[in-house]
Amino acid sequence: MYKASRFSPLTSIIRHTVVTLPTPINISTWWNFGSLLGICLASQIFSGLVLSLHFTAHTDLSFYVVIQSFGDVYYNWWFRALHANGASFFFIGLYLHIARGLYYGSYLFKEVWSIGVVILLLVMASAFLGYVLPWGQMSFWGATVITSLFSALPVIGGDVVVWLWGGFSVDNATLTRFFGLHFVLPFIVAGLVGLHLFFLHDQGSSNPLGVSSDFNKVVFHHYYVLKDLVGACFFIGPLLGLVYLNPWLLGDPENFIEGNPLVTPHHIQPEWYFLFAYAILRAVPNKLGGVVALAAAVLVLFYMPVSPKTSVKGLSFYPWGKMLFFSLVGVFFLLTWAGSKPVEEPYVVISQVLSFLYFSYFALIGPITRIQDKLL
């Protein structure tokens, strides 16, 4: 006889997602960043909604509205600091999440990985759009430089730039559409996160050993719920410390000056989490080549699911692969450093060498691990 479930369909979905979900017993702390990114996304959406209530997307008003809101709107300073620093922590979590996927072979879950890369692209786009909104010097000139890159596209480049600007320069129309897109994109990201989780739970999580763990799993709650809560405390603690003690540490002082199209900053650079890609862009002398290299720096992640397969998932048992991976981590940090430097020697040459090493990882990791398979 059929027995009706005591749970509603929605309750059942939530229960199977965060309570009874079968999870490998040996996953480590590196698997915490998925839930931490969910917390960051929720925090960014909520703080952004609060900030949007007191924002005016107009070139004559935006800068002064942001400054005035600090003193006149109750706790606006806190939400602004949380939103700005939360973006930095969001990218820290994203980069660590991707690094874990590269090291442990999570990219073999093709649907999960591909949706994750799309989420990364949308988050980067949203972060860039949000950086323009305060209309400070670095906001204005960052928008001008980055949108001008589309002019390198053959035939349609000029039309694309005019369409993005809504005119013949970065102006009020640009700011208005950037605000609209910045408001909408996080909700699209949230929907893709749901799809990301759907495919993840359908295919199952990977684990540090890279072997099948179907025979040795535990329920998600309470084992991993408690573990994620501990991770959240260690993640949120430094974020709140930064918000209260030094909220503008990661910002650019130029952005406390109103955007002025007649005064160019001495050194235009994006936020720190874009500096690695900015260094790759500047490393190529040709404008179109630089744009292609900039796009390839992120789009190369789509290649990983179709890269040469190994007998064991991940790099845990591949010493040469480990060396390559940690070299990539070092190159990433050095590219971030090089991107913060002026466009002059020796930084241009250093960026070119580092860019070559960055792309070399993705070309070499498959063949090198396959060679180790044959040797073993």
Binding-site positions for a ubiquinone: 201
Binding-site residues, in ranges, read: 83, 97, 182, 196, 201
- Annotated catalytic residue, options 16, 58, 201, 287: 201
Query: Phi first, then psi: what are they for 295, rounded to 5°?
Result: -65, -40
The question of whether 171 is a catalytic residue gets the answer: no
- Annotated catalytic residue, options 252, 254, 258, 271: 271
d(CA 26, CA 207): 7
Q: Which residue has the tokens 């981590």?
A: 329
The question of whether 201 is a catalytic residue gets the answer: yes
Binding-site residues for heme b, in ranges, read: 83, 97, 182, 196
- Count of beta carbons in the 10 Å neighbourhood of residue 330: 12
Q: What angle do CA 123, 128, 130 make, to 5 degrees?
A: 90
d(CA 242, CA 88): 11
- Across the strands, what pairs with 258? 136
d(CA 186, CA 116): 14
The question of whether 214 is a catalytic residue gets the answer: no
- The SS3 assignment for 228 reads helix
- Count of beta carbons in the 10 Å neighbourhood of residue 155: 7
Q: Which amino acid is at 197?
A: L
- Annotated catalytic residue, options 47, 69, 205, 351: 205
- Annotated catalytic residue, options 126, 228, 254, 355: 228
Please say whether the beta carbons of 223 and 21 come within 8 A: no
Please say whether the beta carbons of 231 and 29 come within 8 A: yes
- Annotated catalytic residue, options 227, 316, 327, 341: 227
The question of whether 227 is a catalytic residue gets the answer: yes
SS3 string, 259-319, reads CCCCCCCCCCCCCHHHHHHHHHHHHCCCHHHHHHHHHHHHHHHHHHHHCCCCCCCCCCCCH
d(CA 30, CA 33): 6
d(CA 37, CA 80): 19
Q: Which residue has the tokens 């720096």?
A: 297
Just list the catalytic residues. 201, 205, 227-228, 271
